Amino acid sequence: MPGADNLIVEARAALLDAVAALEAHKDSVILIGAQAIYLHTGHATFAIAEATKDSDLAIDARALGEDPLLEEAMTRAGFILNPVTRQPGAWMSPNGIPVDLMVPENLAGSGSRRGVRIPPHDKHSARRAAGLEAAIIDQSPMRVQSLDGDGRSEVINVAGPAALLVAKLHKLGERVDTPDRLNDKDAHDIYRLLVATETSELAETIRQLLAEELSQRATTRALEFVQQLFAAGPDALGSTMAGRAEEGVGQPDTVSASVSFLAQDLLSALA
């Protein structure tokens, strides 16, 4: 894919800009999504290249300070809310690179719309999302470096593989009924996580997530998705999607079978 490398470089730059803009709230900001997944799975090799233009940041609203307001901090750094989608929390860098601010459903306050209720921050400053609760618990600081060789880096809280798995499973599982919103790459990202993380290590963290009140429900639901979408077999929806992501460049059958076995292994380790 021409330009794919460049996209990753620009996405990383936009991430560092956003984190710098939110410096005052640094302890409450956690990197999730594909960029976090690649930080954990970079040592394993896969047939399809790492590719994402998005940076996804989860906000721990519990400890979030009042100053500066999220919308002020982002705007001051040159970000604007995406004028096309008009979605809450869908920020765009001056170069047009998306940076999403998201608050776990459990911490997003009342209201059923997509915006958040975390005053005094604006309700459009971030978007509520299900399944991110695990990222509040399973995370640790990592030094994240710029990819364009300018030597820039930031220490960022990065969600762990278990939390990233829970979040991706929610993203997939909640879109099963709206197939046009399903993306094969999300299932392939789950395959990446399962390949690159030892099953025992993953199971250990998931047990901790099940023991925490904040993440218990999201994690339980995620394990139902694991069963239904992956462990059920290589023909299950998630397994098929993960394989399909490698169509033409990799080995779809091998990926579908592998992700299903790894999902079964994870559930056995938790049983």
Contacts to other proteins by CB under 8 A: 44-45, 47, 194-195, 234, 243, 250-259, 261-262, 265
Shorter beta-carbon distance to other proteins: residue 150 or 235: 235
Shorter beta-carbon distance to other proteins: residue 154 or 246: 246
CB of 175 to other proteins, least distance (A): 25
Shorter beta-carbon distance to other proteins: residue 27 or 253: 253
Shorter beta-carbon distance to other proteins: residue 37 or 103: 37
CB of 237 to other proteins, least distance (A): 17
Rg (CA), the chain: 18
- Long-range contacts of the stretch 73-79 (C-beta < 8 A, 24+): 73/21, 73/22, 73/24, 73/25, 74/18, 74/21, 74/22, 74/99, 74/101, 74/125, 76/21, 77/17, 77/18, 77/20, 77/21, 78/17, 79/17, 79/18, 79/21
* Sequence letter at residue 238: G
Shorter beta-carbon distance to other proteins: residue 150 or 201: 201
CB of 164 to other proteins, least distance (A): 18
Q: Which of 148, 91, 94 is nearest to 122 (CA)?
A: 91
CB of 50 to other proteins, least distance (A): 15
CB of 41 to other proteins, least distance (A): 11
Q: Which of 72, 71, 36, 75 is nearest to 52 (CA)?
A: 36
CB of 222 to other proteins, least distance (A): 20
Shorter beta-carbon distance to other proteins: residue 14 or 237: 237
